[in-house]
Amino acid sequence: MASPALPEFIEPDLDFIAQINSGSGLNLKKCYQCATCSVACTMSHDDQPFPRKEMIYASWGLKDRLIANPDIWLCYNCKDCSTLCPRDARPGDVLNSLRKMSIKEYSKPAAMHLLFNDTRKLPWLFILPALIIITMGFATGLMNISPGGDRIVFAHFFPVPLIEMIFIPLSLGVTLVFFLGIRRFLKDMQATYARLGKATPGSIDFKRLLITIVTQLPAIIRHERFSTCSETKGRKISHMMVAFSFTSLAFVAGAFVFALYVLNSHGPYDQINPVKILANVSGIALIAGSLLLIRERRANARQTNGYFDWYLLGLALSLGITGMLTQTLRLAEIPWAAYSMYFIHLIFAFNLVAFLPYTKLAHLVYRTVAIAYCHYVKEEK
């Protein structure tokens, strides 16, 4: 393919440079292009080297070459490059900052991201879901704040139809946000790669891309790329624990819906029920994985730890703890505490789903698509 023609004059986007510097807490000018980072990175290959070129693009303010460049998603933030950088330019943190800016670019509306840039807005991330849940509960007349009865049954307090009325439209809305974002992301990645001479200009064959996504998923789920890191190798286990928990808890929710509507089986279920066991194992894995990730992040003094990174870890831990406490309080037969904890757990669950496209969890979607797109382009050659 032809080499990309550089524009005669480069117009640096100074705001973009300032945002990266503030996001990574560093000065891009520190980088003197020695390329140690690209050599050190075990995920960077000759046909797709990074992060040296991203460092020069970033310091020149070439936003259009970075925001939709799938290469920034091939980085797993292992910090090997940052450790070896002789100038302490922290290329790993710069790429992390670029990914955050990419999510901000594609997950609309942009105003939603304001909620995640300012810690003073944190209470609203919980007050708003609480208000929506309470309003829906009272407006439909389905929420019963004094369920009574001999046993604690959460469906008597917050019936399944009410949960569906809240969470189904919410999930559909989130899916739409992702769909629109990914559609633009793919179009821009194709344009970026075509301009850099890495892809054939033209539209994407979505059927072939979808097949590539499906074939790449097992390697992504197994976190194969994590194994090649040396600096933060242990992160693979904790990362997998959290990813496993979220996936299996989604499966558990689906299994309980199936049990309710197809098998006409109502909860609460026995502790020895296989799905219940999976739910408990997932809950414990979520708490343990989140705690390990928090410990690793705190221990890595060289890492830039922003609100964006901490928020998801805090939410994952809170979800795990409130979920397990809800069950413990039910088994301990303390109704007021069990129902209250269940309500708090619902707020965290609402928060997780509603803000999925705007939090670090959106990485899962954007990274998967970017990795699959890179494979798609390679197959094309």
Residues at the interface with ligand SF4 (CB under 6 A): 31-37, 40-41, 43-44, 50-52, 55, 75-81, 85, 87, 89, 91-92, 95
* CA 127/CA 293 separation, integer angstroms: 27
How far apart are CB 348 and ligand SF4 at their closest, in Å? 30
In our burial notation (b when 16+ CB lie closer than 10 A, e otherwise), range 9-24 reads: eeeeeeebbebbbebb
* CA 355/CA 347 separation, integer angstroms: 12
How far apart are CB 53 and ligand SF4 at their closest, in Å? 9
Residue closest to 287 by CA, chosen among 264, 262, 321, 313:
321
How far apart are CB 350 and ligand SF4 at their closest, in Å? 33
How far apart are CB 241 and ligand SF4 at their closest, in Å? 20
Given the complex with ligand SF4, which of 86 and 173 has the nearer CB atom? 86
DSSP 41-62: -TT-BTTB--SHHHHHHHHTT-
How far apart are CB 76 and ligand SF4 at their closest, in Å? 5
Given the complex with ligand SF4, which of 102 and 248 has the nearer CB atom? 102
In our burial notation (b when 16+ CB lie closer than 10 A, e otherwise), range 338-374 reads: bbebbbbbbbbbbbbbbbbbbbbbbbebbbbbbbbbb
Q: Which residues contact 126 (CB under 8 A, 6 or more apart)?
A: 347, 348, 351
* CA 123/CA 105 separation, integer angstroms: 24
Largest CA distance in the chain: 78
Given the complex with ligand SF4, which of 72 and 209 has the nearer CB atom? 72
Given the complex with ligand SF4, which of 93 and 188 has the nearer CB atom? 93
Q: Which residues contact 369 (CB under 8 A, 6 or more apart)?
A: 182, 185, 186, 213
How far apart are CB 198 and ligand SF4 at their closest, in Å? 18
Given the complex with ligand SF4, which of 68 and 75 has the nearer CB atom? 75
Given the complex with ligand SF4, which of 57 and 158 has the nearer CB atom? 57
Given the complex with ligand SF4, which of 50 and 311 has the nearer CB atom? 50
